[in-house]
Amino acid sequence: MNVQYTQNNPKVISIFETTLRLIKDHGFHGTAMSKIAQDADVAIGTIYHYFPSKDDLIVSLFQYCGDALNESIFESIHEELTYKETFFHIWKGFVKFYRENVEMFSFFEQFYSSPYYKVNSYETNESISGQSSILKFLTEGIQRGELKNTNVEVLACIFFGTAVSAIKGVKHNKLKSNESIEDVVKIIWDGVKNK
């Protein structure tokens, strides 16, 4: 599968955006290729030109969303930030991205709970969704003595788990302000920093 969506192919982007909306409303199984074609205003053959199967479309969409997340979080990091400031920036960027991209958040939630993730777990963990960059960042923090010397996967669970919980808290009005988000990331930092 070699889709050059990074070159801003309008048809592929339209297919991806339409698929995201439909999956949010109907789930993976309730989203037919014919409905994607209809709503994206492209011929069904156009979809199959880029994606040989629905499975290929879903996995490519996962990569597209992951690349968007990664770019959003890491594009504005400045070298002059301390490790702690960068930690806060990345975590808050993760939360902000999903608050602003509800369809992608819904898609990721479904993807990680689906057979798509299990079948493609090596690829998705290694190169997709910004996780690789965040794992490298957390590993660097351990090596530099900024974070507790523990398994990086433990830190990743805390990092991602609290971010997802905060996103849901905002969605359900349990966290009502940016101050609450700031309080959450301060508590996380206090728990993972090397004292």
Smallest Cα–Cα separation from 157: which of 120, 112, 194? 112
CA–CA gap between residue 54 and residue 33 (Å, rounded): 7
Average pLDDT, the chain: 87
Residue 21 has what pLDDT?
97
- Res. 1 pLDDT band, cuts 50 70 90: very low
H helical segments located in 27-101: 33-40, 44-50, 54-74, 83-100
- Domains in the chain, please, with CATH? 5-192 (1.10.357.10)
pLDDT digits (tens, 9 = 90+) for 84-120: 999 999 999 989 998 899 999 999 989 988 887 766 6
In angstroms, the CA 112 to CA 134 distance is 17
**Whole-angstrom Cα distance, residue 128 to residue 72?**
14
Its pTM stands at 0.82
pLDDT in tens, 17-56: 999 999 999 999 999 999 999 999 999 999 999 999 999 9
